[in-house]
Amino acid sequence: MMLHIPGVLQREQVTAIRARMEEAPEWVDGRESVGSQGARVKRNRQLKDGSALSVELGQVVSQALMNNPLFFSSVLPLRILAPYFNAYGGGEHYGLHVDGAIRPQRGGLAPLRADVSTTVFLSDPDDYEGGELVVVDAYGTHEVKLPAGDAIVYPSGSVHQVLPVTRGERVASFLWTQSMVRDDAKRAMLFELDTNIQKLRAAHGETEAVVGITGHYHNLLRMWAET
């Protein structure tokens, strides 16, 4: 399931993050965070993973995502990997690839299973040309280029790429989440059910039917969740 989540970060937060990133001396080759497959097709720059600045800004992004009801409902996060920050310009790109299934964590924490990938855009579409996130799934090929502060979530097992940036600079944060429900189809079913429960509750209040359907949602979650 792909989902656009608007307004994860407020404009003031985006501006503050970008200002801090412009001060950073810790930009490194983006190939430092990928395996051999990704290294052959990845050409971009990243804030150095684990640097004080990366940790500081990552906490802002992580907290904003975890406080976002749409992110929580669609992803059902169990563990979230510390966010990375990258930049593309001057033809930089990331060719077709699949994200690794298991991601190491800093600080001796247990590795994380990557179920859901998230990109939080930190540049507006008019700031650059090219740079679309292209995700290929069973329903076709989808190009994504969102306003600064908005996020896109999609299954980590999807084949995807970032097209070359031919003007300006594309800046973003990206991360992986281990979901309580690892199967994408089951997560999508739960998200649709939760969305419709919220609509029914808004229209009719806490009726007996709404309570009953809510019970089915939680029983399915109880059946499928891993904690």
List, in sequence order, every residue forming a beta bridge with 119; answer none if it has no partner: 152, 174
Ligand-binding annotation for 160, yes or no, is yes
Measured in whole angstroms, the distance separating CA 67 from the mean position of its chain's CA atoms is: 14
Whether residue 75 contacts residue 155, with contact meaning beta carbons closer than 8 Å, is answered with no
Does 99 belong to an annotated binding site? yes
Contact 154, 1 (CB under 8 A): yes
Cβ-based neighbour number of residue 17 at 10 Å: 22
Q: What is the DSSP string of 17-74?
A: HHHHHHT-S-EEEGGGGS-HHHHTTEE-EEEPTT-HHHHHHHHHHHHHHHT-HHHHHH
Q: Is 76 left (phi over 0), alpha (psi -120 to 50) or beta?
A: left
SS3 173: strand
Q: Which residues line the annotated binding site for Fe cation?
A: 97, 99, 160
Q: Which residues line the annotated binding site?
A: 97, 99, 160, 170
Q: Which residues line the annotated binding site for 2-oxoglutarate?
A: 170
